[in-house]
């Protein structure tokens, strides 16, 4: 067992940490307040090959491992949680399944420009009546000759308002339940593809999501990703990687809150001394740091397993479950360390609480992660 990062992993960490401190942290509050999509930041990160971190260079990615990917998402989210999820969705929910299940022709059209960051991808699984119960898809794809005609809707699609293509899930055989779901690659300029206005949310306000509707949308059969009926497995195995990204995002958000609380505890005085000299604050700092390290180790374990090609559904679920709930605890403690100022929009502590909360919900709620983990533990 080795807890040391490789030279490459350390260099990635150092580089992105510096970039995030300079280009993300100073703007994150303003982007949150104005709900501004971080166009320049995403462009800058794509120039650093961070939109396809673990995608091979021949398909436009950085050709790095999944530990580097987790490090990248943590560091980016340390600077701006919204930018973190934009990058995570393109990497693990969009590029990853195209890499894993796509044909060479599909990779040329639907992977290379996206891993390079010239185009942006999103992932269309969630529906109004198929959130946690992802197998209950109502969107329907009917084969007509060389095409599928798709009708239905999706909601809460992160990157949806900006995406150039979507990995879309639809029922091709309603009677077959989850075995009747098929995945498709669909350019968002396809006639019949309609996007609603960006959603109004509690946090990650600069990462836009939206509902979308498909009205007699004709998709060439060559855009089907994998075989008919394989879609649920495409979705679930993709989420094994996606949950790792969200866990890394949660660690990044919590680290931002923790580091700012440590800083503030040295500046703020009460009862004649800096508050960090009170044991109440020292204990909070100790708890925050311990939980952060524990979460990061879970994230890196899942990433290492992914790199080894070992199934990591349960380990990714554990990482996401622990890291997301940790992020809520740590960001709330950090707000408490700030006292009244923590509740003020003049500081970032309240934003971190709002940003952390979604990590317990998207890419599978904490309850779903517990189902995935216990199913794995209890199977004979
Ligand atoms: N990899 C490969 N195959 C898998 C798998 C995985 N990780 N997980 C399940 N499967 C397979 C099973 O082996 C099974 O195969 P067979 O039928 O051949 O035996 C099949 O899929 C069905 O599995 P289950 O019986 O476990 O399926 P279920 O209907 O009980 O659902 C669930 C399981 C875990 C609850 C699942 O529905 C789930 O994960 N729900 C949450 C959905 C979710 O995370 N949505 C997030 C949307 S994306 C998002 O949020 C993006 C964003 O905004 C950032």
Nearest CA to ligand 1 atom 34: 372
CA of 313 to the centre of ligand 1 (A): 10
pLDDT for res 341: 98
The beta-strand segments (E) located in the chain are: 121-124, 140-144, 147-158, 165-171, 181-187, 193-195, 209-220, 224-225, 269-270, 273-274
Crossing angle of the two packed helices 81-88 and 25-34, in degrees rounded to 10: 90
Domain ranges of the chain: 7-115, 121-229, 233-377
Helix (H, G, I), strand (E, B) or coil at 36: coil
Other beta carbons within 10 Å of 230: 16
CATH topology of domain 233-377: Butyryl-CoA Dehydrogenase, subunit A; domain 3 (1.20.140)
Q: Does 230 have pLDDT greater than 90?
A: yes
CA of 312 to the centre of ligand 1 (A): 13
Backbone angles phi, psi at 352, to 5 degrees: -65, -40
- The reply to whether domains 7-115 and 121-229 share a CATH topology is no
Nearest CA to ligand 1 atom 25: 178
pLDDT for res 380: 62
Is residue 9 within 6 Å of ligand 1 at its C-beta?
no
CATH topology of domain 7-115: Butyryl-Coa Dehydrogenase, subunit A; domain 1 (1.10.540)
Torsion, Cα 222 223 229 235, to 10 degrees, reads 150
The architecture CATH gives domain 121-229 = Beta Barrel (2.40)
pTM to 2 decimal places:
0.98
pLDDT grade for 1, boundaries at 50, 70 and 90: confident
Render pLDDT for 32-69 as a digit per residue (tens, 0 to 9). Answer: 999 999 999 999 999 999 999 999 999 999 999 999 99
């Amino acid at each position: 067992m080795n807890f040391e990062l490789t030279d490459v992993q350390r260099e990635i960490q150092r580089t992105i940490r510096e970039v995030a401190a300079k280009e993300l942290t100073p703007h994150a509050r303003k982007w949150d307040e104005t709900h501004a999509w971080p166009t320049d930041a995403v462009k800058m990160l794509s120039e650093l090959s961070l939109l396809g971190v673990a995608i091979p260079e021949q398909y436009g990615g950085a050709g790095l491992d999944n530990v580097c990917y987790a490090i990248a998402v943590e560091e980016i989210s340390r600077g701006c949680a919204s930018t973190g999820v934009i990058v995570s969705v393109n990497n693990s929910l969009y590029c990853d399944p195209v890499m894993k299940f796509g044909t060479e022709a599909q990779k040329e059209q639907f992977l290379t420009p996206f891993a390079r960051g010239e185009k942006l991808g999103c992932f269309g699984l969630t529906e109004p009546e198929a959130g946690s119960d992802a197998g209950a898809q109502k969107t329907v794809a009917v084969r007509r000759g060389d095409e599928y005609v798709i009708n239905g809707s999706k909601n809460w699609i992160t990157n949806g308002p900006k995406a150039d293509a979507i990995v879309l899930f639809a029922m091709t055989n309603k009677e077959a339940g989850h075995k009747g779901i098929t995945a498709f690659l669909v350019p968002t300029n396809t006639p019949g593809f309609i996007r609603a206005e960006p959603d109004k949310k509690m946090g990650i306000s600069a990462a836009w999501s939206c509902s979308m509707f498909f009205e007699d949308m004709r998709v060439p059969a060559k855009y089907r990703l994998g075989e008919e009926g394989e879609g649920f497995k495409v979705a679930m195995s993709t989420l094994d990687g996606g949950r790792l990204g969200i866990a890394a995002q949660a660690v990044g958000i919590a680290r931002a809150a923790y580091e700012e609380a440590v800083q503030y505890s040295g500046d703020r005085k009460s009862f004649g001394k800096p508050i960090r000299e009170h044991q109440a604050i020292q204990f909070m700092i100790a708890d925050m740091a311990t939980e952060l390290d524990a979460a990061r180790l879970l994230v890196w374990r899942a990433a290492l397993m992914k790199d080894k090609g070992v199934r990591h559904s349960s380990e990714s679920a554990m990482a996401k479950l622990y890291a997301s709930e940790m992020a809520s605890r740590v960001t709330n403690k950090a707000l408490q360390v700030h006292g009244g100022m923590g509740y003020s929009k003049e500081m970032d502590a309240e934003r971190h609480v709002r940003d952390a909360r979604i990590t317990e919900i998207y890419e599978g709620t904490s309850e779903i992660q517990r189902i995935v983990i216990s199913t794995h533990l209890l199977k004979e």
